[in-house]
Amino acid sequence: MKRCMIVDDSSVIRKVASRILGGSDMIVQEAATGGDALVMCAAQMPDIVIVDARLPDIAAEDLIRRLVALSAFVRPHIVLCMTEFDVGAIMRAKRAGARGYILKPFNRSQLLERFRDMDLAA
């Protein structure tokens, strides 16, 4: 069973993503800040981390770098989540260790399609 963490200061985005992804084949955790995500990931690294591009406490690329550095055993698939297409932000996130990005607001088909494109979900 895969584990996914949604890191976003918007409770609405976290709840929507949790409802879409949660189910019998995925456990979903939520974090409102980058600091919360680091604490939770240090305890148990999820397989997938969706990171908001604009967190209130840490730059997304810094959080991504720190997540990648946390564990040698589990290398999470990290997805940047943003409200508008920003090539610079995407490139910084990818250099830090992100695997891809998704634009919000997203719906069920968009999120699941992005996960399928990255071979993260069926």
Query: Has residue 36 been placed in a domain?
Result: yes
Query: Has residue 52 been placed in a domain?
Result: yes
pTM for the predicted model, two decimal places: 0.92
The count of domains in the chain is: 1
Nearest to 81 by CA among 2, 5, 3, 1: 5
Query: Has residue 122 been placed in a domain?
Result: no
Of the pLDDT bands very low, low, confident and very high (cuts 50, 70, 90), residue 111 is confident
Sequence-ordered list of residues with C-beta below 8 angstroms from that of 25, at least 6 positions apart, any chain: 1, 2, 121, 122
Percent of the chain scoring above 90 in pLDDT: 71
Query: Has residue 105 been placed in a domain?
Result: yes
Q: DSSP strand E in 2-111: where?
A: 2-7, 26-31, 48-52, 77-82, 100-103
- Whole-angstrom distance, CA of residue 115 vs CA of residue 122: 8
Q: Identify the residue with better confidence: 120 or 30.
A: 30
Burial class (CB in 10 A: 0-12, 13-18, 19+), 119: exposed
Quote the domain boundaries for residue 75: 2-117
In this structure, what CATH number is given to the domain that contains residue 70? 3.40.50.2300
Query: Has residue 22 been placed in a domain?
Result: yes
Each residue of 2-58: pLDDT tens digit? 899 999 999 999 999 999 988 768 899 999 999 999 999 999 999 999 999 999 999
